[in-house]
Structure 1
């Protein structure tokens, strides 16, 4: 499963945690910034409460990731780290095992794009020619069902109310 955990009390820097649990290999979560996500999505909302506004925006971001997976492409880049110096993504490459759709999954980054000039309207085909580099040599295999299950879990987790 791949889960996206959002620290809604964060400062918009280092407040997205991406946890990849697939197979035996485990790793520390990837940490990313929320800062450019609202611009990336062109997100607008009338929600007044700052924390609830951030949660609504992050929910929209997770729904965007589900939409990207639903394109059912052979290779997809799930953008999650919109830095001012690079972008980070989870690269998923589709294959079939025993009639089950699976993905080879790896964490990658490219300095061809930057968080401040990214937009959800950019087509996946534009990413194919990017100079992507792998963050580590680890490649995970995950079923499409488990990939979607992790993102849906992440959406459900956003609805948890925090009592102060």
Structure 2
């Protein structure tokens, strides 16, 4: 089975879409501060966004591991179970951080801003998904899955801690 991280690096158009509007950069893997999981499980930074946020694989294994996102303001939350799920979210709802209520109305408003600058967004998204071999969910399905992962019982197992002060990050999501 081929690595999705390798596939992204081998397909410039997919990497470009994930970089913007996805705000997902594999070239930056260090978080802005020292952190660890409260459970003591492994934490591996593998990508970042332009605002200082980071994506982490949690636990042992490969790209199927749960993925935690931490922003640069002290908030974190579980966003996907495995890299394929994260990439589907970033491709379908690259403005997911603008949807704290996981609603279609929030997504529609955020999409309008992006579509004004990127009228070919859907076509670029579809080519990126094809290059990565991903079947995309609907926008509603992607947001529902994000809600399920972010607020579900598994999410409480992935509490990010600011190591120097041993204080947990605040939740990125609220119900």
- TM-score normalised over the length of structure 2: 0.30
- TM-score normalised over the length of structure 1: 0.31
Bigger fraction of residues in helix: 2
Bigger fraction of residues in strand: 1
